[in-house]
């Protein structure tokens, strides 16, 4: 990601001249629950209707989806949101995607992923899940519960991201997660890409070596 000047103004940076376009760059964390919780529930229900489904498959598939989210979160944050632009047009895209958050990390309406970005990404992942479970593995009974767990992992990530910026989080693992993410913003912008979990930062050596 290119260098972005930090400011803590309460007034958000305007990204588009059009009020219509600008509207879609802001979102409340409550909207994440409103939008995605019904889809998680529907995915579990639809998965339970599969002829080869079972309660065990629903539970294990859901947990598998939660796990699959964790490296996805890391890889998206590191290689998509922090991609290195090669020209002015790419710099603009990088700023719209994630740079604006690093420029204004305290703006409450830009701490969770707007639907204009999260919905297209979810469609890409639906396609990948279909390709893997339905076509390659011939295990359609696993697709929907796994996708439900994956979406739940995404919701946890987005809400956790909001919490690290605006909740005290003074104890235990919550304190550590907040500390690591603040270090990502203010000390190590090219490290510490995990938000809901630091596991993959250890795996891929992007955890700072501090005493």
CB atoms within 10 A of CB 154: 25
Q: Could you give the CA distance from residue 102 to residue 147 in angstroms, rounded to a whole number?
A: 29
Give pLDDT tens digits for 144-197: 999 999 999 999 999 999 999 999 899 999 999 999 999 999 999 999 999 999
Give pLDDT tens digits for 30-76: 999 999 999 999 999 999 999 999 999 999 999 999 999 999 999 99
pLDDT of the residue at 7: 63
Cα angle, residue 42 at apex, residues 38 and 48 outer, rounded to 5°: 150
**Distances in Å between the alpha carbon of 192 and those of 15, 69, 165, 201?**
26, 16, 15, 6
Span of 63-67, 77-81, 98-102 with lowest mean pLDDT: 98-102
**Residue 192 neighbours by CB under 8 Å, 6+ apart:** 180, 181, 183, 184, 198, 201, 206, 207, 208
Q: Please name which of 197, 11, 200, 196 lies closest in space to residue 100, comparing C-alpha atoms.
A: 11
**Residue 120 neighbours by CB under 8 Å, 6+ apart:** none
Contact assessment for residue 74 and residue 194, using Cβ atoms and an 8 Å cutoff: yes
Q: Could you give the CA distance from residue 190 to residue 135 in angstroms, rounded to a whole number?
A: 37
- DSSP 8-state code for residue 208: -
The pTM for the full model equals 0.91
Q: Which residue has the higher pLDDT, 116 or 150?
A: 150
């Amino acid at each position: 990601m290119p260098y972005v000047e930090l400011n803590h103004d309460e007034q958000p940076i305007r990204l588009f001249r059009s009020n219509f376009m600008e509207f879609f760059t802001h979102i409340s964390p409550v909207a994440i629950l409103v939008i995605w919780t019904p889809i998680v529930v529907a995915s579990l229900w639809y998965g339970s209707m599969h002829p080869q489904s079972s309660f065990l498959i629903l539970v294990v598939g859901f947990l598998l989806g939660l796990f699959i989210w964790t490296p996805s979160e890391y890889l998206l944050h590191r290689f998509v949101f922090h991609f290195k632009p090669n020209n002015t047009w790419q710099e603009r895209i990088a700023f719209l995607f994630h740079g604006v958050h690093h420029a204004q990390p305290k703006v409450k309406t830009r701490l969770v992923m707007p639907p204009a970005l999260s919905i297209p990404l979810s469609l890409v992942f639906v396609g990948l899940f279909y390709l893997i479970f339905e076509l390659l593995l011939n295990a359609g009974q696993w697709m929907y519960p796994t996708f439900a767990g994956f979406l739940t992992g995404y919701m946890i990530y987005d809400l956790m991201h909001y919490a690290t910026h605006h909740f005290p989080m003074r104890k235990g693992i919550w304190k550590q997660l907040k500390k690591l993410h603040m270090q990502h913003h203010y000390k190590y912008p090219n490290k510490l890409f995990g938000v809901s979990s630091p596991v993959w930062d250890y795996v891929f050596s992007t955890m700072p070596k501090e005493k």
